[in-house]
Structure 1
Amino acid sequence: MSRQPRAILWDMDGTLVDTEPYWMAAETALVESFGGSWTHEDALQLVGNGLIDSAIILQQAGVDMDAEAIISLLTDGVQEALRTQGVPFRPGARELLQDLKSAGIPTGLVTMSLRRMALSVVDLIEFDAFDIVVAGDDVIHPKPHPEPYLHAASLLEIDIAEAVVIEDSPTGLRAGIASGAVALGVPHIVSLDDVGAHELWPTLDGRTAADLIELFDRKTSMTGATR
């Protein structure tokens, strides 16, 4: 019988929802409002980053605002885009969440976005998708530090080694790997080659709870661990 993970922990931006274009548009408008320029390559530096780290990079690009004000302004911009343009769920993500719910496997959302941003996305899912939410303002150390995932495990009262983390960025994957979880990479905007994911899937489309159970069982069996 397959060993089943006790939780699946999801990143949000780029993994659950394709909000990266919204973030990039908000960053570009902000930098240009201070007379600077912000390229696609500049924006890629921020994918998966903690918000304070991103704010510092934007300050270096000429944004003359304190970090907290930058974070609040960008979050407002992305939330407005979500309200007016809709929530673009990544292929297969909502369906996989629904299947995990049906299978009785707990789920957590672990994002470096602000809690108000995370909850606005969660509220737009038509079922009770997540058991817990950990956001950027809930932790001291952002990804790639393992604290966000370790905090999620503590809220769920599990050992992090009993969880699978799903991430789309190198920063997020490093956090998942460092935490001790089984780390699954689903690349989106940036490559995840050579980051060290336990496995890479090109998409979540067509994937089910059974696929995640099989992945967890196979990877934990390979390490000789007993869960």
Structure 2
Amino acid sequence: MTSPAPAAVLWDMDGTLVDTEPYWMAAEGPLVASFGGVWTHEQALSLVGLGLEDSARILQAAGVRMETREIIDHLTDTVSSRLRAEGAPFRPGARELLAGLRQAGIKTALVTMSMRRMAETVVSAIPFEAFDVVIAGDDAVRPKPHPDPYLQACRALGVDVAETVAIEDSPNGLRSAVASGAVALGVPLMVPLAGIGAHALWDSLDGRTVADLTDLYTSHRLGAPA
């Protein structure tokens, strides 16, 4: 018997689909420094996967004397400009797995806390119709680590979140995926994900296939370890 495939696969963007976390960090440091502050690597790591409004408040606490919306726009514009200039740095295996899902007829959603205009810049760099739905930071009722973005994506797709797999690279994003009820797959990049509740941790998406995701989904549904 063929294992049932998930109804949809939900993708985080920064750090999962594309390796843009260094772009965000490169934008944050000079911004804090321009107000006479110091921004450490550890502070930058604490923002990975966090909603931009929450990130802006942390930057304000570090001395950035700008309104929340100004900080969000500044960071988004800085990172988006670099993406346009240098291209989107896709993570190994991500586009190939995404293409396989599309060929298999499995629904896909992009669930990111980046602004929609930046998400559209990344999506436009994919040479096929990659996503049925995009939920961006300016769409979310509550940002990650709340479950809302993933639940919104499932409502838009018309699927039960329990019948989906969500792929995340950050603790904040993984907490969101777990809380939503999706089968949560962690693919760590900059921050360890052990102990956060992922149903499976993969070192990379490189070489991974639709069959691997289906096995993960089926194993979870049957209550077996992934």
TM-score of the superposed pair, with normalisation by structure 1: 0.97
Alpha-carbon RMSD across the aligned residues, in angstroms, is 0.8
Partner of 2:112: 111
Partner of 2:43: 42
SS of the aligned residue for 1:184 comes to strand
Give structure 1 regions of 4+ aligned residues with deviation exceeding 4 angstroms. Answer: none
Q: Which amino acid aligns with 1:56?
A: R
SS of the aligned residue for 2:63 comes to coil
Ranges in structure 2 where 5+ consecutive residues have no aligned partner: none
Q: Which amino acid aligns with 2:67?
A: D
Q: Which amino acid aligns with 2:70?
A: A
Partner of 1:91: 92
Partner of 2:15: 14
Deviation at 1:44, TM superposition (A): 0.3
Ranges in structure 1 where 5+ consecutive residues have no aligned partner: none
Identity level (%) = 64
State the alpha-carbon separation in 2 of the partners of residues 154 and 133 from structure 1. 12
State the alpha-carbon separation in 1 of the partners of residues 43 and 181 from structure 2. 31
Partner of 1:169: 170
Partner of 2:3: 2
SS of the aligned residue for 2:203 comes to coil
Partner of 2:200: 199
SS of the aligned residue for 2:165 comes to strand
Instruction: Count how many residue pairs are aligned between Structure 1 and Structure 2.
Output: 223
State the alpha-carbon separation in 1 of the partners of residues 163 and 73 from structure 2. 35
SS of the aligned residue for 2:159 comes to coil
Aligned runs of 1:56-135 on 2, under 5 Å? 56-135=57-136
- After superposition, the C-alpha distances for 1:89-130 in whole angstroms (9 at most, x for unaligned) are 001001100111111111000000001111110011111111
Is contact 2:92-2:205 (8 Å) kept? yes
Partner of 2:154: 153
Deviation at 1:29, TM superposition (A): 1.2
TM-score of the superposed pair, with normalisation by structure 2: 0.97
State the alpha-carbon separation in 1 of the partners of residues 43 and 174 from structure 2. 20
